[in-house]
Structure 1
Amino acid sequence: MATVFVTGGSGFVGSRLITRLIKEGHSVRALARSDAAAGKVKDLGALPVRGDLADVAGLRAAVAGSELAFHSAARTAGPGTREQFWADNVDGTANLVRAARAAGVRRLVHVSTEAVVMNGRPLVNVDESAPLRPDSRAPYVASKAAAEQIVIDANGSLETVVVRPRFIWGAGDTSLLPVLVDMVNSGRFAWVGGGRHLTDTAHVDNVVEGLMLAAERGRPGQTYFVTDGEPVAFRDILTELLATQGVSAPTKSLPYGVARTVAAVGETLWRGLRLKGAPPLDYLSMWVTSLECTIDITKARTELGYQPIKTQKEGLAELR
């Protein structure tokens, strides 16, 4: 069994990953930025190491002695300036890569996202050959794409592998479902163009399965999409997720053209005036809620032996 280092261990994916690693007998050290984060990873059975992705020297000390590292920490989609996204997702990733290489880590597995190939167009049966979009209008997308490129370029003396899940969901979610419920309850949610477009999803247990397989079998320098295996109608899956929380899905819908204009104006105003928080509708939210995103996971199935281990029915039952 290996000594494993994890960033983002107190988060949704990171905590599930730590649980899986501990269950399989690995010794886990997890970076923790706060007392609360340290307490959570300790409760999971990992050794919390206080530190920050901005501190290369501290990272090197934290990761020392680890054979394998998983990078799950990131500033996720939501409020934040382009500079903040870049500092956390790009500079932070570069710092971890440098620290891992200096500490002699054998392999780094990076948690990316399907969003790295988004820039306002539908993604239909997309695979790993799609180009990264560090030029995206959405700061989260641009920063995650640039971070992924850093990880791929670092492959050499340090083996690097990237896993890209799409629309992570499941019990223990602290971001997507709670935010969705709050938006519906406050009357701030509307379908864009009816919400009937197809989307792939990735239950958190399937994401962790993909990460574990990438650590064991992934080809160095390669990227792998992982999903639940079958696309569903965006409106249907969100309606099901809301129902698990006793919330009825709204019926109101916003035309796509109107939503696009609202997002463009909002993004321009918030960025130009440096307003706090997020605009009423940002580019990424508009793309996710209005454009098809279906993914071909043949590469993960073929090279990693990946198969989803949790069905949508099972995941929804857990949420209920």
Structure 2
Amino acid sequence: MRVFVTGASGFVGSAVVKELINAGHHVLGLARSEAAAKKITALGADVHLGDLADPESLLTAVANVDGVIHTGFNHDFSKFAENCELDRKAIEAMGGVLAGTRKPFIITSAIGVLTSVDRLLTEDDKPSPASHNPRVASELAAGELVAKGIKVAVVRLPTTVHGEGDRSGLVPIMMRLATEKGYTAYKDDGLNRWPAVHVLDTARLYRLIVEKEYPAGTVVHAITEEGLYFKDIATAIGKRLNLPTESKSREAAPDYFGWFSHFAGLNCAASSQQTQAFFGWHPQHATLMEDLQGTVYFSEKK
């Protein structure tokens, strides 16, 4: 297959590109800069110059491939709502080109779009259109495309996608906060739960999806660890940085976490049993705690 990958130079996207090429597929990667283009070329993929903020620049690429994997997203969280809206527009534009075909269109969402419940979230759970999380726009756009007969699958990434090369995910953000403040922190008892997955397991799942015949509207959970306590993650980071870990009340937490306060309070433990059974996908790589205890996030063991 020839597959168009957005976000091809990013943390998840570059892993997907390598996974696809190693499996014998041809990849066309989206690049919005010369630096991104060089990285994509080095991975062994062809380059399409464009920008998610300019949906028209994506259409030619989408029209000339056998499938699309959309991992691109602007992770400037200071403009989170704006970036979610840009993602919605990009999804709509790419989907329009795929109308009337049976080409797979794999869209990326996040488990955090779901409302916290006192059970494991599953692939059957749907985000509320009235959600205060603007990331829900991606899934709502996907639903509109499914209604038009487009072969869409939605991949929900967990709170933490970890592994070598993670520089802008939530764990590095927690590390930077701890270094700046002089300690790590969690909200209240810290027993809110974050699911996790290794980036290489994630990449393999994207490949399995694009290769498999699936019903339009399929929802996929890229989750290998159902839910780690936030307190345990914060404590592990503090230990590696030789810093103490403290509890912050809900009222005091924003003073420590700032814009990150919402993410620090997420409680979204989730299952991927349906995903694993349907796609024959099972984790093969390190857990988050193994990565935190090793050299992935820290140059040497302490």
Q: TM-score range by the shorter chain?
A: 0.7 to 0.9
1:6–1:81 Cα change, 3 Å: closer
1:93 aligns with 2:68: no
Matches within 5 A, 1:37-186: 37-76=36-75, 78-80=77-79, 82=81, 84-101=82-99, 106-118=103-115, 121-122=116-117, 124-137=119-132, 141-142=133-134, 144-155=135-146, 157-166=149-158, 167-176=160-169, 177-186=171-180
1:289 aligns with 2:282: no
Q: For 1:215, which of 206, 210, 222 is the aligned residue?
A: 210
Q: Deviations over 1:216-266 (max 9, x none)?
A: 3333211111212443222223444566xx52353222112443xx48xxx
Q: Which amino acid aligns with 1:300?
A: T
SS of residue matched to 1:199? strand
1:193 aligns with 2:188: yes
User: Could you tell me how far apart the structure 2 residues matched to 1:182 and 1:56 are?
Assistant: 33
User: Could you tell me how far apart the structure 2 residues matched to 1:171 and 1:123 are?
Assistant: 32
Q: CA RMSD in A?
A: 2.6
The answer as to whether partners of 2:257 and 2:264 remain within 8 angstroms in 1 is no
The answer as to whether partners of 2:56 and 2:93 remain within 8 angstroms in 1 is no
1:101–1:225 Cα change, 3 Å: same
- How far did residue 173 of structure 1 move? 0.6
Q: For 1:205, which of 200, 203, 211 is the aligned residue?
A: 200
- How far did residue 10 of structure 1 move? 1.0
1:196–1:87 Cα change, 3 Å: closer
The answer as to whether partners of 1:200 and 1:293 remain within 8 angstroms in 2 is yes
User: Could you tell me how far apart the structure 1 residues matched to 2:88 and 2:283 are?
Assistant: 30
Q: Which amino acid aligns with 1:206?
A: D
Q: Deviations over 1:131-157 (max 9, x none)?
A: 3134333xxx32x21211212331355
SS of residue matched to 1:28? strand
The answer as to whether partners of 2:139 and 2:154 remain within 8 angstroms in 1 is yes
- How far did residue 214 of structure 1 move? 2.0
In the other structure, the counterpart of 1:303 is 278
1:251 aligns with 2:245: yes
- Count of aligned residue pairs for this structure pair: 290
Stretches of structure 2 lacking an aligned partner (at least 5 in a row): none
1:241–1:258 Cα change, 3 Å: closer
Stretches of structure 1 lacking an aligned partner (at least 5 in a row): 264-278
Q: Deviations over 1:270-310 (max 9, x none)?
A: xxxxxxxxx9623xx33432343211212112222221121
TM-score (norm 1): 0.80
The answer as to whether partners of 1:60 and 1:99 remain within 8 angstroms in 2 is yes
User: Could you tell me how far apart the structure 1 residues matched to 2:199 and 2:62 are?
Assistant: 25
The answer as to whether partners of 1:197 and 1:292 remain within 8 angstroms in 2 is yes
User: Could you tell me how far apart the structure 2 residues matched to 1:248 and 1:215 are?
Assistant: 43
The answer as to whether partners of 2:177 and 2:257 remain within 8 angstroms in 1 is no
User: Could you tell me how far apart the structure 1 residues matched to 2:250 and 2:67 are?
Assistant: 44
In the other structure, the counterpart of 2:34 is 35
Q: Deviations over 1:162-212 (max 9, x none)?
A: 111202111111212332222111107521114233332111112112212
1:175–1:106 Cα change, 3 Å: same
User: Could you tell me how far apart the structure 1 residues matched to 2:218 and 2:68 are?
Assistant: 16
1:173–1:234 Cα change, 3 Å: same
1:224–1:81 Cα change, 3 Å: closer
Q: Deviations over 1:22-59 (max 9, x none)?
A: 11111110111111111111111111111122444431
In the other structure, the counterpart of 2:6 is 7
